[in-house]
Each structure stands twice: as structure tokens, then as C-alpha cells.
Amino acid sequence: MKNLFLASLILLSAYTSYAQFIVDSNPNFDTNAIKADGRILGVGNNPRILLQSTSDADNDWTRGLIGNNIFWNSTNNTWSNSSSSSFNDFNLIRFENGSNIGFYAKTNTNSGIENFTNTEIEDYRIMTITNSGNVGIGVRNPNAKLQVDGITLLKPDVINNNYLRVTSNAPSQTNLTYFSNNDARWNLYSDNEDFRFRKAGTDSAEIMILKSQGNVGIGTVNPSELLTVNGKILCEEVEVIANVAPDYVFQKYYTGISSLKEDYVMPTLEEVEAFTKENHHLPEVPSADEIKEDGLQLKEMTTILLQKVEELTLYTIEQEKRIKALEIELAAKK
């Protein structure tokens, strides 16, 4: 920190080497001057650049500063405009205790000389560099290598004006918006504990949501399962994990027992006929009303349909045996 302050002093000395410094105790100045309190003032008819070294306890332990139209006034323990003109804008690089560096800036309001307490001047802090290398923009004590309080633009495509904007609208909401040709197209934002993805602009319908408990919704903001989709899905393959395959149908038919499903009983065709006549759907298969209300469970329905295919296969085998037996019987009567 001392080396940086010394380098700044040498640079300012080189810049003003053509002019003669005078000693002056007036806090407002019009000439090059080394002030009685150690401040080195700038150049010109209305100079406002200065270097100042200070160790005032009331000055938040500031060790030194480079200021434009601002200095630490140890008389009243405030930050003051150094120019006698009506301009009250300033820029300040503040070498703080703990080897942090603070950067401040204020625009001109043409209201004359102003004084700021240490608390008040914090309203004009624009950047901080800590002794650990963290950089804060709009933040006094950054806890990351880069911490930004405010809108951030990431603009890799300058020609076509394509860029990302990061904003924080509230303590619980952060927005990441993609712009194309300066028009907002897509928006990813956090709302309390959820993440939401939506189209930006006038048609700002939400496309996807990630709930805090882990459920993902596509086309819906209230997913009831790990993945809830309100719409069509196009894919090449769907893998369904089933704990029990319907091979128990064949096991029970040929061996009389089944280790896969011990309580399985294959219905007779008479029982199937009676059930379908009364209910208008196959046994164990959900009805139309049930599917309409609860949806169709792909895993359950795949298992049921495969069971019905195996049962139908056995019905066909039995039927084929009876047909052949009748054919043999008819042939013997001829």
C-alpha cells in the first residue's frame, strides 16, 4: 500500500514538474501548493486535484487519499469540497486502514461546497479492492473475488448488441436476462427459493420452474412430481424401471406357483366376459374416467398390458389345443 501511494505521489509530481509549489494554509486554493497540513494540491487557475496523508482517528483510519475536489478536513472531521467554485462533484481514491482501497464519485449538483461525514460519503462509494484481492462494485466489504451490487452487463457481441444482464430486484430475487439486438428475449430469475425460466418482453409466459424441493415443471408452475410436463414430449426412447415383470403369468400357468407374484390368479374367459360386460374395460385396467381424472401411469399400464398379452397368449394356446383335438375327433369319424 505504501508503494502504491508513493508511486501516485511520484506520478503527480511528474505531472506538475513544470510548475512551482508554494506553501499555503488556505483550504481553498488557486495555485500549486503544499498545504500546511501536508496536502499536495493540483494545477491551474482552479485546481481540484490533491494528495493527502492522514491518520485521523475520526476519519475511519484513512491512511491516505488521492482526491479530485475532495479532502479530509481535520478541523471539523468531515469530507469537504476543495474548490471555491460552485462545483461540488468529486472523485476519491481512499487508502483505508487494513490496506483496502475505496473508490468514490459524485456528480455535480451546482449547490456549492458540501461537507460529508464518514457515514454520508459511503453513499458515493462505487468500488472497493480489499487486501485479499476481492473486488466489490457498489459493495464496501466484498466476500468474493468479484461482488457486484446492481445491474451487470456481459456483452461479448458488441456489433449485434447481444448480451446478458444480471439484476437484483429484491433481496430474494435475482434476474439473468438475455438480450438480442437490445431486445429482451429470455429471462432466468430466482423468486424466493425457486428458479424460473421464461420468455421476456410482452409475452412473458413462464416456460420452466425448478422448485426448492427439487421438482421441475415444464409448462406448469406447480409441478407435483420430480418432473411434471404440461404438453407433449418427443424422444427416441423411454426407459421404465419395473420391479416385477409379468412373467408370473407363465410361471403360475405351467408350474402352479410363482415366485414373482404368489397371489396371481389367471381369470377364465368366462370371468373376463362377465367383467367386461359389466364394467366396459378389462380387469385390472383403469377405466376411462379414472385415466381422465388421474392420468395414465406409464409404468403401471405397461405392466398391465404385458400381463394381458401373456394371458391372451395362453388363451390362444388353449384354444388352439381344443381346435386340434376337435379336428382329430372329426377326422376319426369319417
Kindly list the averaged pLDDT for each block of 10 residues, start to end, along the chain of length 334.
48 41 43 50 47 53 75 82 73 82 87 82 91 89 85 72 73 72 77 79 77 91 91 88 87 93 94 96 93 88 93 96 92 84
- Are 96 and 63 a contacting pair, CB within 8 Å? yes
Which residue intervals of 58-132 are DSSP H helices? Answer: 118-121
- Per-residue pLDDT, 266: 94
Give me 288's grid cell: 376411462
- Per-residue pLDDT, 296: 85
Q: Residue ranges per domain, the chain? A: 2-147, 150-229, 248-333
Give me 224's grid cell: 407435483
Give me 147's grid cell: 461482488
> 88-94: long-range contacts (C-beta < 8 A, 24 or more apart)?
88/112, 88/113, 88/114, 90/48, 90/124, 91/67, 92/65, 92/66, 92/67, 92/68, 92/121, 92/124, 93/8, 93/65, 93/66, 93/67, 94/62, 94/65
- Per-residue pLDDT, 39: 52
- Per-residue pLDDT, 49: 52
| Alpha-carbon span 245 to 67, nearest angstrom | 80
